[in-house]
Amino acid sequence: MTWLSFCARRPGPSWKTGYGTGDRTLAQIEGVVDHNAEGSISGLYSVLDGPRQASWTFSIPKVGEPIQHYPLEKITWHAGLPGDRRHDTSLIGNLTLVGKEVEGKKGEPWTENQLHWSAKIDVALRALCPSFGKNPPTLRLNMWEHRWLTATSCPSGRNPWNAKFALISSLEDKMTDAEFLAMLEKLLTQARIPATLEDGKTRRSGAHALGFWLDASRLHHEDTDKHSAGEGHSHNIPASQTEEA
């Protein structure tokens, strides 16, 4: 299960996830939804810990580090009720998108802290999730507001999209090979799963579990010179990093 190292952990209730069909894979994550909290962090925690059928992966305060409530693989209920399987809410919002709640109210601009952490989370997810990272940040494709998915009382308009896209571009350009490999190594140790080989034997394989990492690096981290066209820069992964353990 994947937790981002730069986020504080405050786990949400375990019953507030999923549809009874198991967890999703990182490869199934296609983007993010930035929600407006319409209140304070303490108010968000009251909702998360309470009986209401609502949950999300990240909370981003006005000041301080972001908080992660569930691993990325957990399906949260941030863009529709858990029993609602309509295409425009659950299937797009809950099943394939990661929800972030941003502290504050309608008409209140994001703080620099919120802009920084929202963009950094997006960069991390784009590196981890090939379906998200293969396309440049694009509204209504991999970057969403709640009301674009379903009718909601959650107001929009706070998101400084242009500033965030520029920051994402800058952060991705600055991501070094060492940082990329460190993220890869961390995930390899977290997500080792059994793999059945041709000889019928089963062994725990980091490379099998994270084969999509190679796809992500090919699709999204191509060439620094191409970044202005919407593509990322390349990171050379030594063979030793992808061998079976």
Predicted structure pTM score: 0.72
pLDDT given at position 5: 96
> Any residues with CB less than 8 A from the CB of 53 and at least 6 apart, and which?
16, 77, 81, 82
Indicate the pLDDT class of residue 112, thresholds 50, 70 and 90. Answer: very high
Percent of the chain with pLDDT over 70: 62
| pLDDT, mean of residues 145-160 | 69
pLDDT given at position 233: 47
Tens digits of per-residue pLDDT, 16-75?
998 888 899 999 999 999 998 889 999 999 999 999 999 999 999 999 999 999 999 999
Answer with the residue of higher pLDDT: 158 or 151: 158
CATH architecture group of domain 8-174:
3-Layer(aba) Sandwich (3.40)
By C-alpha distance, which of 162, 156, 141, 35 is closest to 96?
141
By C-alpha distance, which of 179, 116, 167 is closest to 137?
167
Classify residue 14 by burial, with Cβ atoms within 10 Å: 0-12, 13-18, 19+. Answer: exposed
In the chain, where the domains are located: 8-174, 177-241
